[in-house]
């Protein structure tokens, strides 16, 4: 098909199967614009019918063009359909598209998903959003198949990872099975607890015997195995030997987990040996962990013992909570009211220009929860101000054990409008 506006005239319908759901995708074609076309009336009519028949509407806008008058019409038609609407902003691989998106966000659809159809970016988020918003139908995946949570158990040699995995597998009410992982030598272990499915990734790596030396080589190997497991996990359990506290290697592993946007729990293992220090012991220990792993301040610390089994069920409970928090969404209207309140209470502090205002906020994704703030001027907000925003968001919405991401973009001044004006004057 030629990449010229208005050439996709026909309504194209395509059956697809996503995650065991059978769907019909309908592309409404050039429903808007191309009004010189003698077939336009038919196209518009077919488009209307497609909207009327749909269970869900995905409005696609061009992020590089920014907001154009046609978008208003499409938005109105989508809204008038009374169906759930997802706004997909395309071409977001292009840097110019980032700032132009504000007006599109302001159309007020929820969710807004940024994609690049050409580069395949964000497409997974879009399909997830579609499946989530679709009305339940008889064709859906059976109820009992709750989504599984993938867990990486990582830490230095001797911290107690294999003891912990074995303990979890011994717990009552757990059904365990081994399944091949993605790489040739990796094995995952599935366990069911309270009707929830956990996949412990790369258990072959954990249970591999002999990796007890403190030589540089073995440490590098364990960081490497940890990275591989982290890549595939939703939640990372960083196992520390509580008698030794965190080391640089733990910091490296934790850093990889934060960068990958995984939920994180700090499991202070061998707590049976720490009891002698009494109540104060845990306070002192936690303070030391917070000091040494500052960037993990959002991660809960659990004092456990793989030997005595103390608090193992608590660990699974925490994993479940973190996995949920990592997928949490804040509705756009609520988020904007909240942002307005907290930026009014403490106006933004920027590294450059003064009088920075936050014009609009939106959540752009989950896993981890990611937010974008549009500001009136090109600037970066001061590091301490970003901390303030993050802390307030956490106080309000929790995000227990999950990293969150906040990015700041400038609203594109005039650009969107200039283009829009040019487009209006240019018949296509």
Which member of 273, 284, 341, 421 binds ligand GDP (CB under 6 A)?
273
CB 291, min distance to ligand GDP, A: 23
The CA-based angle 52-57-58, given to 5 degrees, is 150
**How far apart are CB 160 and ligand GDP at their closest, in Å?**
3
Residue 158 makes contact with ligand GDP by CB under 6 A: yes
- 307 touching ligand GDP, by CB under 6 A: yes
Tell the smallest beta-carbon distance from residue 169 to ligand GDP (Å): 13
Segment near ligand GDP (CB under 6 A); pick from 48-56, 143-151, 158-166, 364-372: 158-166
| Residue with smaller CB distance to ligand GDP, 162 or 375 | 162
Nearer to ligand GDP, 305 or 364 (CB): 305
Of 8-16, 93-101, 155-163, 192-200, the window that binds ligand GDP (rule: CB under 6 A) is 155-163
* CA distance linking residue 53 with residue 71, whole number of Å: 21
Between residue 201 and residue 240, which ones bind ligand GDP under the rule CB under 6 A? 206
R_g of the chain computed on alpha carbons: 25
What are the residues whose beta carbons fall under 8 Å from the beta carbon of 196, sequence distance 6 or more?
A: 146, 149, 316, 320
By three-state DSSP, how is residue 113 classified? Answer: strand
- Name the minimum Å distance from CB 307 to ligand GDP: 3
In this chain, which stretch among 10-18, 61-69, 270-278, 329-337 interacts with ligand GDP, using CB under 6 A? Answer: 270-278
Which DSSP string corresponds to 302-371? EE--TTT-TTHHHHHHHHHHHHHHHT----HHHHHHHHHHHHHHS---BSS-S---EEEEEEEETTTTEE
Minimum CB–partner distance for residue 74 and ligand GDP (Å): 56
Number of amino acids touching ligand GDP (CB under 6 A): 16
94 three-class SS: coil
| Angstrom distance (rounded) from CA 159 to CA 245 | 10
* Sole binder of ligand GDP in the list 272, 317, 324, 396 (CB under 6 A): 272
**Number of continuous H segments (helices) and E segments (strands) in the chain:** 14, 15
With CB under 6 A as the contact rule, the residue among 98, 232, 270, 303 that binds ligand GDP is 270
160 near ligand GDP, judged by CB under 6 A: yes
Strand duo 175-180 + 263-269: pairing: unpaired
Beta carbon nearer to ligand GDP, 225 or 335: 225
* CB closer to ligand GDP out of 84 and 305: 305
Instruction: Count the neighbouring beta carbons within 10 Å of the beta carbon of residue 427.
Output: 9
Residues 6+ apart with CB under 8 A from 175: 190, 191, 192
Contacts of 283 (CB under 8 A, 6+ apart): none
Nearer to ligand GDP, 159 or 319 (CB): 159
Closest approach of Cβ 285 to ligand GDP, in Å? 14
Q: Cβ closer to ligand GDP: 113 or 256?
A: 256
* 3-state secondary structure at position 388: helix
CB 176 within 8 A of CB 225: no
What are the residues binding ligand GDP (CB under 6 A)?
155, 157-163, 206, 269-270, 272-273, 305-307
């Amino acid at each position: 098909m030629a990449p010229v506006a208005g050439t996709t005239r026909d309504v194209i319908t395509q059956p697809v199967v996503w995650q065991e759901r059978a769907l019909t995708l309908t592309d409404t074609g050039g429903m808007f614009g191309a009004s010189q076309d003698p077939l336009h009336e038919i196209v518009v009519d077919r488009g209307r019918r497609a909207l009327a028949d749909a269970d869900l509407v995905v409005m696609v806008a061009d992020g590089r063009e920014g907001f154009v008058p046609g978008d208003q019409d499409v938005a109105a038609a989508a809204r008038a359909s009374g169906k759930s609407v997802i706004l997909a902003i395309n071409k977001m691989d292009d840097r110019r598209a980032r700032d132009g998106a504000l007006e599109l966000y302001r159309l007020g659809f929820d969710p807004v998903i940024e994609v690049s159809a050409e580069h395949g970016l964000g497409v997974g988020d879009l399909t997830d959003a579609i499946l989530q918003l679709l009305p339940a139908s008889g064709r859906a995946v059976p109820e009992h198949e709750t989504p599984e949570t993938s867990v990486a158990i990582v830490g230095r040699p001797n911290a107690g990872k294999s003891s912990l995995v074995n303990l979890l597998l011994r717990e009552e009410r757990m059904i365990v099975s081994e399944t091949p992982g993605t790489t040739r030598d990796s094995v995952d272990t599935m366990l069911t607890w309270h009707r929830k499915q956990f996949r412990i990734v790369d258990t072959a790596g954990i249970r591999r015997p002999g990796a007890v030396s403190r030589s540089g080589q073995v440490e590098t190997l364990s960081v490497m195995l940890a990275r591989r497991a982290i890549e595939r996990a939703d939640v990372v359990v960083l196992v520390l030997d509580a008698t030794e506290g965190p080391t640089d290697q733990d910091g490296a592993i934790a850093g990889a987990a934060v960068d990958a946007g995984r939920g994180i729990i700090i499991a202070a293992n061998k707590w049976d040996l720490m009891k002698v220090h009494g109540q104060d012991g845990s306070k002192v220990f936690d303070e030391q962990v917070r000091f040494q792993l500052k960037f993990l301040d959002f991660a809960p610390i659990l004092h456990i013992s793989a030997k005595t089994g103390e608090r193992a069920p608590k660990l699974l409970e925490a994993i479940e909570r973190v996995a949920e928090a990592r997928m949490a969404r804040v509705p756009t209207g609520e988020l904007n009211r909240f942002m307005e309140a907290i930026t009014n209470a403490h106006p933004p502090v920027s590294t450059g220009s003064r009088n920075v205002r936050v014009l609009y906020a939106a959540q752009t994704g989950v896993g981890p929860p990611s937010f974008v703030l549009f500001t009136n001027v090109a600037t970066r907000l001061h590091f301490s101000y970003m901390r303030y925003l993050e802390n307030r968001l956490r106080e309000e919405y929790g995000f227990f054990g999950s990293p969150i991401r906040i990015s700041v973009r400038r609203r594109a001044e005039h650009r969107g409008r200039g283009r829009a004006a040019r487009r209006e004057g240019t018949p296509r």
